[in-house]
Chain A
């Protein structure tokens, strides 16, 4: 069965530091992968997606993610964290037209 594992339920970084949020998936078919961000009491906003083609995907707000088939990973990165990046981040894999989500990683950014 397809699944998503997000390593680290909480990540804390300093403003200006590298952000790295980890996501590993299991899928029996070539996966479609997504990262979403959720601010408190709001819905999910699509950050970026990988479907086919280039394995390094750029998204909104300076985020990017790299699909690595050999490692079954789709880690999210941002070179320099901003205070406004503090939120919950969800990795998801598409299975039969529905999304299977990881448990989420809460990112805290401190001055």
Chain B
């Protein structure tokens, strides 16, 4: 069990560019979550997958954001036409049946800076 991994760890981009982040969950976990954390705040839920199905999206997830988990394993989060307000830490978490429905394990995050 190598834990949840995220790539890249850091991303600096210019306003208006598109960015894509990747999350690899713990291998046997069927649930995968994306959260966003801004400075001085707790993480806020963005979206949630069970296997390949995206079951819930937050109102925080504007039309510029899209997430996929095509084969029920890794997931990608894409932000189109980035804005300075998108600057944040993007956290991925996963959970499995063995740990119970609510327990989530987090990756190290991807820190996005939009110039």
Contact = CB atoms under 8 A, between A and B. Distances in A.
The prevalent SS among residues of A at the interface is: strand
A97 B101 contact: yes
Interface string A14-57: 00000000000000000010101000011111100101000000
Contacts of B33: 98-99
A46 B100 CA distance: 14
B65 interface: no
A96 interface: yes
Interface residues of B, number: 27
Interface in B84-112: 91, 93, 100-109, 111
Given A43-B4, A43-B91, A104-B41, A97 B108 contact: no
Interface of B: 4, 6, 31, 33, 35, 40-45, 48, 55-56, 91, 93, 100-109, 111
